[in-house]
Amino acid sequence: AARYVEKFNLLQWPDRTAEICARLAEAARGLEAETVAGPTTGGVILAYEMARQLGVRGIIAERRPDGPGRAIQRDFRLSPGERVLIADDVVTSGGSVHDTIEAVREAGGEPVGVTVLVDRSSGRADFGLPFFAAATLEIESWEPADCPLCPKGVPLTIT
């Protein structure tokens, strides 16, 4: 991509993170989530703050140690049909959110919606669930082989 969104510039400030999570929690309140799940790394912080705002518990979807995807681990348990809201930091392709949705389903839960700080998918992310973003950014991105910046030697700069 031509630009990178560094979520930790926000997440390092608990009060600001709480303020944005309050807006997302209010938008998702009608989904009646019983639990909020977030993928490691930034999604964990957001899941716990969203859970606090909603008065429910927060859990983690971690990378599988034995292969691709994510799993609900560390003795977290979901009751059959437990309503789970997914919280993540930045959506580009939606891979970590899709993996978290699948992990929730594998654990017996029912994903009911997705919240993110930033949607930079240009509206392409489709999770088949209600989707709430605190901000939407139009940032052009490419597959690595198609990057027009690489042949020009443009360095990656994180701001």
pLDDT per residue as tens, the chain (159 positions): 455 555 667 788 899 999 999 999 999 999 999 999 999 988 999 999 999 999 999 999 999 999 999 999 999 999 999 999 999 998 888 999 999 999 999 999 999 999 999 898 877 889 999 999 998 877 666 566 766 667 777 776 654
Q: Domain of 29: which CATH number?
A: 3.40.50.2020
Domain range holding 75? 8-146
Residue 42: half-sphere exposure toward Cβ, Cα within 13 Å: 21
Q: Report yes or no on 82 lying in a domain.
A: yes
Predicted model pTM: 0.84
Does any domain span residue 56?
yes
Residue 3 belongs to a domain: no
- The verdict on residue 153 lying in a domain is no
Residue 79 lies in a domain: yes
Does residue 20 lie within any of the structural domains?
yes
Instruction: Tell me, yes or no, whether 69 lies in a domain.
Output: yes
The three state secondary structure string of the chain is CCCCCCCHHHHCCHHHHHHHHHHHHHHHHHHCCCEEEEECCHHHHHHHHHHHHHCCEEEEEEECCCCCCEEECCCCCCCCCCEEEEEEEEECCCHHHHHHHHHHHHCCCEEEEEEEEEECCCCCCCCCCCEEEEEECCCCCCCHHHCCCCCCCCCCCCC
Q: How far is it, in rounded angstroms, from Cα 5 to Cα 137?
A: 10
Residue 32, in any domain of the structure:
yes
Number of domains making up the chain:
1
